[in-house]
A and B are shown apart, each in its own frame.
Chain A
Amino acid sequence: MENIVYTRIKEDINNNDVVLYMKGTAAFPMCGFSAAAVQVLSQLGVTFKDVNVLEDNDIRQGIKDFANWPTIPQLYVKGEFVGGCDIIREMYETGELHDLLREKQVSFEEAA
């Protein structure tokens, strides 16, 4: 019987092109790293679903096990784990994030 938390996570990441598991919300990030991830996505003009792990301890631990990644935030694009704050920032700076979004046909502001 699959872990129900994994089922919920899979539903979220498969029903939304871009999902950011974070501390706080996009409007009110509660941690510097989560805020930095939100900033990158906002600058790119990407619509994304924010999941506040502080409101749900099952998800907070479950997402770390799911991705075998020990920290928050975590970014998912089209159901695939992309990375945490460092990787999101690095990919943004090198243009790899733009390439990934194009490849996955996720709309964003090309000029950003």
Chain B
Amino acid sequence: MAMDAQEIEQMIKQALPDASVDIQDLRGDGDHYAATVLSAAFEGKSRVQQHQMVYAALQGKMGGQLHALALQTGLPE
């Protein structure tokens, strides 16, 4: 029950094609990651909405197969 960083990145990019995704594996167990996702699609969205967009991209894996994903979201620099 785990995911690898490439799979997470690929799912996010499928839903947010312009996104830049930087993932760190916090514990090396495939279950605890930190990710910074920057995308123009977040424009005008609250933090909660931005995170919900990333969770939606992960199609229900968040909280199940993926136990922890510390998220930082924002607009591209």
Question: A-side interface residues toward B, CB under 8 Å?
Answer: 33, 64, 68-71, 81-87, 90-91
Contact = CB atoms under 8 A, between A and B. Distances in A.
B45 interface: no
B2 to A, nearest CB: 16
B47 A81 contact: no
Chain B binding surface, main DSSP class: mixed
Given A69-B55, A70-B55, A71-B63, A86 B71 contact: yes
A83 B51 contact: yes
Contacts of B51: 69, 83-84, 86-87
Given A87-B48, A87-B51, A70 B71 contact: no
B18 to A, nearest CB: 22
